[in-house]
Amino acid sequence: MVALHQISAQAALKKTRDQQAERDSNNRKQQQASFGEASKQALGAADQAKPSEVPKGLRGLIYRFIEHPWFSWFILGVILLNAAALGLETIPRVNAQLGTTLRFIDHWALWIFVGELTLKLLAYRLRFFTNGWNLFDLAIVGLAFVPSSSTSILRALRVLRVLRLISAVPSLRVVVQALVSAVPSMTTVIGLLMLFFYVFGVMATRLYGEAMPDKFGSLGQTFLTLFQLMIMDGWADVIRGLMALGHPASPIFFIVFVVISGFAVLNLFIGILVNAMDRAESLDHMLHPEDYRSDEEEPAVKLDRLALQIAEMQATLEALSQQQATLLASGSDQASPNGQTSTPGGDLAQS
């Protein structure tokens, strides 16, 4: 009986795993369909960036080396060290004492980045250029070798290497992907905002241009004032000034503008960004699953734990059924030959 329950538990576990795999496949297809063509192209680019199988020989050794988690952590540490060195160089006292050491760190960090990109080129070859993040890293590091007549400009460009944290840290990568994917929707909202700005700008110039020419004298000045009001910067001074100049109804005009531009449109931006963040996080999970394996439990582990709980419940039910059968057997032994139990109530009934 116990063996039968174990076989049924294994069959249920296999069925559950098959259903989970089917659900994961369907979810992946639905997510790819919802992301649109841009996300599909990103998925295709990410798949093409790495070889379909691990190369052999020296190229395979380099590929396994740069794909090892410790290599990524080492590059991340070099980026942080380089960022700290560039920041300390801006402090005169520290630069006077440790300037040589800081420039040495910056110099070797640059060559470490060059070595990293060289190894990736050797491992990925032409597939290297199909990944947008690789091109981003190549552009950031390449700016350090741009010739410039001004030393200050060249030194200022070095700080751009800190932006490599975007491609090294998964959470930053998700934020950038969300911003990029939200650009089309944000363009529509920006167009709506510009339409409101134009309507209210023409009206404000006509109504308050003579009373306050420094704020509403021209359409350009009015746009600047309306932007200042939208971000709640000095709005009270503008309204009080207009009221003092004989425009008591001006608060109604600007309150309507602030409610539409500052609250309604701003909430649209927030909604678009939140939606883009959710999609970008799902997309990044598919593009870089290795960055999230330590944070999430494997589905197989969850299924094994569930199967163990099911087996324990079945063992408990088996023990309870055996106890019930024992109680029923003991109760039948106490029954009388004519089918009536030998209880005091029964004796009285027969007499």
Total residues found in the chain within this entry: 351
pTM for the model: 0.48
pLDDT at position 344 is 45
| Confidence at residue 169, expressed as pLDDT on a 0 to 100 scale | 74
Distance CA 200, CA 248 (A): 18
Task: Give the pLDDT of residue 202.
Answer: 93
CA dihedral 322, 324, 325, 326 (to 10 degrees): 90
The pLDDT tens digits of the residues spanning 35-49 come to 444 444 444 444 455
Per-residue confidence (pLDDT) for residue 271, from 0 to 100: 83
Q: For residues 96 and 84, give the distance between their C-alpha atoms in angstroms, rounded to a whole number.
A: 16
pLDDT computed for residue 345 by the predictor: 44
Q: What is the pLDDT of residue 222?
A: 92
What pLDDT score does 200 carry?
92
Residues 74, 261: Cα–Cα separation, whole Å: 46
Measured CA to CA, the distance from residue 88 to residue 202 in angstroms comes to 50
pLDDT value of residue 223? 92
The pLDDT value recorded for residue 86 is 82
Question: Which mean pLDDT values do the consecutive 10-residue runs of the chain (351 residues) have?
Answer: 52 62 60 47 48 70 85 86 86 88 87 90 86 82 72 65 73 76 82 90 90 88 89 84 87 89 81 79 65 54 74 82 80 56 44 38
Neighbour-count burial of 31, counting CB atoms closer than 10 A to its CB (0-12 exposed, 13-18 middle, 19+ buried)? middle
Tokens representing residue 131 in the block: 């990944």
Among 253, 244, 260, which Cα is nearest to 205's? 253
Domains in the chain, please, with CATH? 34-168 (1.20.120.350), 183-291 (1.10.287.70)
Q: Please, where are the H alpha helices in the chain?
A: 2-49, 57-66, 69-88, 92-124, 132-142, 151-157, 165-168, 170-181, 183-208, 213-216, 219-230, 235-244, 250-258, 265-287, 299-333, 344-350
